[in-house]
Amino acid sequence: MIIEIGHFALILAFCIAVCQATVPLVGAARRNAGWMAVGRSAALAQFPLVAIAMAALIHAYVTSDFSVLNVVQNSHTDKPLLYKITGVWGNHEGSMLLWVFMLALCGAAVALFSDNLPPALRARVLAVQGMIGVGFLAFILLTSNPFLRIADPPDNGNGLNPILQDPGLAFHPPFLYLGYVGFSVSFAFAVAALIEGRVDAAWARWVRPWALASWCALTVGIALGSWWAYYTLGWGGWWFWDPVENASFMPWLVGTALIHSAIVVEKRDALKSWTVLLAIITFSLSLVGTFLVRSGVLTSVHAFAVDPARGMFILLLLVVAIGGSLTLYAVRAPALQGGGLFAPISREGALVLNNVLLATGAATVLLGTLYPLFLDVVGGDKLTVGPPYFNKTFVPLMVPVLLALAVGPLLAWKRGDLLGALQRLWVAFAAAILVALLALYLSGETRVLPVLGLGLATWTATGALVEWADRIKLFRLGASETWRRARNLPRAAYGMTIAHLGFAISVAGIAASAYAVEALGVVPVGGSLPLAGYTLTLEKTERLNGPNYLADEGTVVFRRDGAVVTTLHPQRRFFPLQQQTTSQTSIRSSLIADLYVTLGDPDEQGGWTVRAYYKPMVSWIWLGGLVMAFGGVVSLSDRRWRVGVASRARFAARAQTAAGD
Amino acid sequence: MLRKLFYLVPVVAFCALAGYFALALRPDRDPHELPSVLIDKPGPEFALPSLNGGDRVTSDGLKGHVVVVNFFASWCVPCREEHPMLMRLAEKEHVPLYGISYKDNAEDSRRVLQLLGDPYRRIALDRDGRTGFDYGVYGVPETFVLDKNGRIRKRFVGPLAADTVQNELLPLLQELNKS
């Protein structure tokens, strides 16, 4: 019964989405306030309905209702409760439901927090959101229904892929989807602005918090996913340039460009049509990613069950959503007049450079991801161009990004003083050289790339701090005056500094990961393995019974100069249901380095394959991601986003335009 | 006018992309077979260092038997998908598999094989991808069937699927071994 309620709620949500997509649009065109108001009510009604559907499916999983096909295919009574819940989105149908849930959440949030928007713009934004909802709800209901029943319920289900039975599944997909889908709001704003034919500072002011919030969620989602891959896949990697990773990385790159270019629209009334295009492309790339993952046209570790009908349906959605919005762009964007002019060397110029580099980066990733697909059409299939391609193309693009990142915020709007900015950055330059030399000395190696990476990270981080110190006149005015300035500095400025620091932290972690040391050996119980100055001893192994698996747990003691540093317990888990083995790594993390150990197969003589890594600063990669997202949140808490400010700004902007005419 | 055309670029680019996507979804497409211009021609010669030491792995050394040559790499995700099939071919079907580690570090290749098992009789190191280039390899994995005279008889692009193995690879090997 509950399942039918969920199914019914989803159908109802679809019907309401149809209303939301049409009525407010007509209302906005005819200036009919009542019709426009339908958008808000529809968006607010849609969210609880999709939430009911989600709850119904979760209920079926928790109670192991094996009359539901989706539960049979993906669950099992022996599965721990956490994985019964998270297993809901560990499969295609359930994850699409999560996708729509996030979409409805965003729609409701727009409806709630848009009192300061002009009614017509709000109606159009919500209508575009409604259209996206119509597409994806229809997709679920027609091709990927999680609420299908089966006639003869089996005694038990097929269980969940053991690799997904990890707490990471509870956090990674929800954040990632919130990020993906959150960009639908900036997309809706862009399309609404194109329909209205007007983009101004106030528009940028409205769209930016939404883009920023989605960007934060996506950043956290990607960082968590990378961390999860690191500790779960057991070969110590943290990024594989897998199509699905790329699918999340491309919107992130373009989204990063978007939150930067929107600043220019807001402050200087320039780069309008470019910003609108970025908003469209960011969400389009989220959609393309969805297509690539779920149509089965590319191979990936994340592949879902494949059904050509689904692929065709999503492709149709892509054509309508992306093709439609880009056509609208082609028709309307030429009319968007750019406002402020600026010299190449200026804050605007630096942000344009940032945009060009990030967009090029996204294009490179897109090409590398789709290259196999282009061949596919010629007749081949399923190849990966792999890290060699991305390391040669994408990584060099990040060098100028880092170089410019420290300089940009020090340049003035309109016309900047490059020499002056560079002079103020001498500390950053000195620090970068110092760190690079230190890296050379400590590693005793002469590889260029990691040294370059660490130097650039230091340059960026110190540069961000220099800019902050500059603003509060640190050491130049009295302590009390500096303190007053520090307190009065807008949160947005702090947000920028923190986010840039976070980026530098990630880059440092990535660069330092080149210094990882690996040890691999077949070790008998009591035997040892050397690793980067440590000695690992496999003290014992024992057989444990998990809730739905058997495990061999090793006790590995790390010693340095005879003294015990840490004891780790890697496991090798066997899931009898799926006949699959996974390795549960055991890691001691610290800011200096991770000690990482996995237990492999035993051999006939009683030895165990032990793989261990010494990974310097690897946790900085994800820490940096979290710091970046935190910077975004700090910026979001800036008081200028709060109620009333934006509408006043729009009023002022209009008054200004009127005066200009 | 020209300026207006400029704004058409995104939508035109997207249409091209969507066209590719549509073609990729074509149900009649046989995804695992890519004809090679080298079919029935002698396989390109090579003499590559061996991953596990010993003599170089050479194209001449493969002659005299029907062999299957598989290009792989540690960084390649589809290879991991294909790997259980290779293990099955080596252990159950006793197919003489030769591996060519394509654009990969020896260390990484070795590690992957230690982790997943080694299905190959011998493994050659094609560090710079030269031999892969000669064979016309687009990416990994790719698999070639060479007859007793060292001629390329078949090329499989992408991971070997169960039905491809059953219906094409194994019958072909049987036929070649008879002649």
Q: What is the percent of chain B where pLDDT is above 70?
A: 92
Nearest to A148 by CA among A101, A97, A87, A77: A97
Chain A CB contacts of B25 under 8 Å are: 295, 297, 308, 311-312, 315
Q: Provide the pLDDT for residue A443.
A: 84
Residue with tokens 């399942």: A3
Dist CA A189 CA A209 (whole Å): 12
Identify whether the C-beta of residue B68 lies closer than 8 Å to the C-beta of residue B144: yes
Chain B CB contacts of A377 under 8 Å are: 20, 23-24
> What predicted TM-score, i.e. pTM, was given to this entire model?
0.82
Nearest-CA distance A633 → chain B (Å): 32
Q: What is the mean pLDDT of residues B40-57?
A: 86
Q: Provide the pLDDT for residue A660.
A: 38
> Residue A44 burial (CB < 10 Å; 0-12/13-18/19+)?
middle
> Which of B6, B7, B127 is the best mutation test for A, with the most CBs of A within 10 A?
B7
Q: Provide the pLDDT for residue A418.
A: 87
pLDDT confidence tier of residue B35, bands split at 50, 70 and 90: low
Classify B29-178 by CATH class: alpha beta
Residue spans of the domains in chain B: they are 29-178
What tokens does A55 get? 């709850």
Chain B interface with A: residues with Cβ < 8 Å: 3-4, 7-8, 10-11, 14-15, 17-18, 20-25, 27, 29-35, 73, 75-78, 80-81, 103, 107, 111-112, 114-115, 138-142, 157-159
Chain B CB contacts of A609 under 8 Å are: 114-115
Q: What is the mean pLDDT of residues B151-158?
A: 84
Mean pLDDT by 10 residues, chain A (661 residues): 94 97 94 92 96 96 92 88 90 91 95 89 95 95 91 85 84 92 95 90 89 96 91 76 86 95 88 92 91 67 58 88 94 80 87 93 89 62 65 88 91 86 91 93 85 95 92 81 87 93 95 87 88 90 88 92 91 82 87 89 81 91 96 88 51 47 38
Dist CA A311 CA A416 (whole Å): 49
Report ipTM (2 d.p.). 0.81
Q: Determine the 3-state secondary structure of A448 from DSSP.
A: helix
Q: What is the DSSP string of A550-597?
A: EEEEEEEEEEETTEEEEEE--EEEEETTTTEEEEE-EEE--SSEEEEE
Q: Provide the pLDDT for residue A159.
A: 83
What tokens does A252 get? 């992130």
Nearest to A214 by CA among A647, A642, A633: A633
Q: Residues 6 or more apart from A52 whose CB is under 8 A from it?
A: A5, A6, A9
Residue spans of the domains in chain A: they are 1-165, 166-333+350-409, 425-516+621-661, 518-617
Nearest-CA distance B163 → chain A (Å): 15
Nearest-CA distance B81 → chain A (Å): 8
Of A288, A315, A381, the CB nearest to B22: A315
Q: Provide the pLDDT for residue A382.
A: 46
Q: Provide the pLDDT for residue A301.
A: 47
pLDDT digits (tens, 9 = 90+) for B96-108: 999 999 888 888 8
Dist CA A73 CA A78 (whole Å): 14
Nearest-CA distance B145 → chain A (Å): 17
Is residue B33's pLDDT more than 60?
A: no
Report CB contact under 8 Å: B15, A284: no
Is residue B28's pLDDT more than 70?
A: no
Q: Provide the pLDDT for residue A522.
A: 84
Chain A CB contacts of B114 under 8 Å are: 520, 600, 609
Q: Provide the pLDDT for residue A85.
A: 92
Q: Provide the pLDDT for residue A600.
A: 80
> Which of B14, B72, B118 is the best mutation test for A, with the most CBs of A within 10 A?
B14
Dist CA A29 CA A19 (whole Å): 15
Report CB contact under 8 Å: B140, A384: yes
Dist CA A97 CA A88 (whole Å): 9
Is residue B37's pLDDT more than 80?
A: no
Chain B CB contacts of A608 under 8 Å are: none
Q: Determine the 3-state secondary structure of B144 from DSSP.
A: strand
Chain A CB contacts of B7 under 8 Å are: 273, 329-330, 333-334
Number of Cβ atoms within 10 Å of the Cβ of B27: 8
Dist CA A620 CA A227 (whole Å): 11
* CA A31 centroid distance within chain: 38
Is residue B32's pLDDT more than 60?
A: no
> Letter for the amino acid at A530?
P
Chain A CB contacts of B77 under 8 Å are: 240, 242, 299-301, 384
Identify whether the C-beta of residue A434 lies closer than 8 Å to the C-beta of residue A491: no
Is residue B30's pLDDT more than 80?
A: no
Dist CA A573 CA A229 (whole Å): 17
Looking at chain B, how many residues does it have?
A: 179
Q: Provide the pLDDT for residue A497.
A: 95
